[in-house]
Amino acid sequence: MTPHGLPSDLYHCLLDEQPYYLVPPRLLRQPEIFGNVLINPDCWFSWEGPPPPDKAERVEWNENFLPSDHIVWVEDPATHAIWPFWLGDEYFNYLRTMAPGRLVRQDIPCHVRWVLTQANILVASDTANQRRRQWEEWVEGFAATFENGYVVLENLIHPFHIGALRRYYRHRVRRGFYSLGD
Amino acid sequence: MTDTWVQPTPLVVLDEFLAPQEWAGLLKFALRNNSRYASSGILGAGGEEKNDRDYRRSLVLYELGGLQDWFAQRIQSYLPHVLARLHMPPFPIARFEIQLTATNDGQFFRQHKDDDSETVRTRALTFVYYFYREPKAFHGGALQLYDAQLDQQGNITAGPSQTVHPMQNQVVFFPSDCLHEVLPVEVPSREFADSRFTLNGWVHR
């Protein structure tokens, strides 16, 4: 069991209880948003019904995922990866009255707002364009480095999922789910 | 109108704290050194160490070699996150004090505060990292943390409590001035290797 009382052997990335301590701090630097803040128009709330057709074909439920009725799926506008974020009671209560593309209520506490911003659930109107431009710059950098014969591709996995994956695999390795070594 | 005021004890629990190979190495160290543990003591008001088997029973290993610095660094790397969640302001760290504790059948540590005597007044933050041999061969041994309850006469007593059950590879942090206790452990086999192990200690300001 995790400290939040969820099974450790089913993968989940719960916004209410982020394992920040397993995330390299340099990756948690999504800037604070000033001005109008929206719920990301490219996210999908699982409790509102089935995913839109363009996302449905890219969303595959894994049997090792923790079943939940309250998941927000967020599309990365640059890589087009779709990241699931599980919600506990606290975060579900904030998001249940909101909708993708709508302006965000102002009464969200700072720590909740920070987590939702890092998860790209809260965005500014030009966040997607900024992210695409940033990604293009990185890809150009990757291409230049690749002329040396190899390249390290960074920033492919959402930081929250790095923490959640570390926790999940530490648990599974320790419990002997995998045979390690040659 | 209420006649008491309760100060809740803040608490942070971090899951899967060590990587599997680190956890396995630590367990191996704890078991390999079984002959080096000493009976645990308590500190008197003047800082003198004494044994009181009605108050605390467990075995402690004080000499940890390289483990001491390695674990201190690991704890230190998480401190900004932990202190923020405990709502404790950052403080200059004077030193780390770390020990390995094995708690076996019928052993416990009654209600106490970790900074309650002169020589340990600088303890600011307590941490308890749990580990044990699989499959788990003990029951009990929960950490009971009490809120501070202040009455109208200014007396501080134990208020409502929260219970933290020892879970493999989890670490618990709380302010050292909080009242807490370790409830009795049951180890049916009574084997040392089946003990409830902790790498526990304090960050001194």
Rounded to whole angstroms, the Cα distance separating A138 from A134 reads 6
- For strand B12-14 and strand B123-131, is the pairing parallel, antiparallel, or unpaired? unpaired
Chain A residue with CA closest to B21: the answer is A174
Residue A3 lies in a domain: no
Domain locations in chain B as residue ranges: 4-43+57-197
Q: Which domain holds residue A54?
A: 15-174
pLDDT of res. B45: 66
DSSP string, chain A: --TTS--TTSB--BGGG--GGGS-GGG--PPPP-S--EE-TTEEEGGGSSPPHHHHTT----TTBPP-S-EEEEE-TTT--EEEEE--HHHHHHHTT--TTSBPPTT--HHHHHHHHHTTSEE-TTHHHHHHHHHHHHHHHHHHHHTTT-----S-S-HHHHHHHHHHHHHHHHTT-S----
Hey, are the CB atoms on A8 and B16 less than 8 Å from each other? yes
- How many domains in chain A? 1
Nearest chain B CA: its distance from A141 CA (Å): 31
**A31-50 tens-digit pLDDT:** 676 778 899 999 999 999 88
Looking at beta carbons, which residues of chain B come within 8 Å of A18?
A: none
**B1-46 tens-digit pLDDT:** 557 888 889 999 999 999 999 999 999 999 999 999 998 877 766 6
Interface of A with B in 10-39 (CB under 8 A): 19-22
Residue A129 lies in a domain: yes
CA A135 from chain centre, in angstroms, equals 17
Rounded average pLDDT over B130-139: 96
Helix (H, G, I), strand (E, B) or coil at B136: coil
pLDDT of res. B41: 73
Rounded average pLDDT over A78-84: 91
> Does A177 contact chain B (CB < 8 Å)?
no
Residue A139 lies in a domain: yes
Question: How does DSSP classify residue B118?
Answer: G
Looking at beta carbons, which residues of chain B come within 8 Å of A22?
A: 16
pLDDT of res. A30: 66
Rounded to whole angstroms, the Cα distance separating A119 from A159 reads 9
Rounded to whole angstroms, the Cα distance separating A69 from B95 reads 47
Q: Given pLDDT bands bounded at 50, 70 and 90, which one contains residue A148?
A: confident
> Does B127 contact chain A (CB < 8 Å)?
no
Contacts of A51 (CB under 8 A, 6+ apart): A44, A59, A73
pLDDT of res. B47: 67
pTM confidence score:
0.86
Residue A180 lies in a domain: no
Hey, are the CB atoms on A170 and B167 less than 8 Å from each other? no
ipTM over 0.90: no
- Options 2.60.120.620, 3.40.50.300, 3.10.20.30, 2.60.40.1180; CATH for B4-43+57-197 is 2.60.120.620
Rounded to whole angstroms, the Cα distance separating A166 from A172 reads 10
pLDDT of res. B2: 59
Beta-bridge mates of residue B56: B109
Query: From the list A3, A20, A170, which residue is nearest B20 (CB)?
Result: A170
Chain B residue with CA closest to A17: the answer is B14
Hey, are the CB atoms on A174 and B20 less than 8 Å from each other? yes
Query: Picking from A82-86, A174-178, B67-71, B189-193, which range would have the lowest pLDDT averaged per residue?
Result: A174-178
Residue A2 lies in a domain: no
Query: From the list A3, A170, A175, which residue is nearest B19 (CB)?
Result: A170
Chain B residue with CA closest to A174: the answer is B20
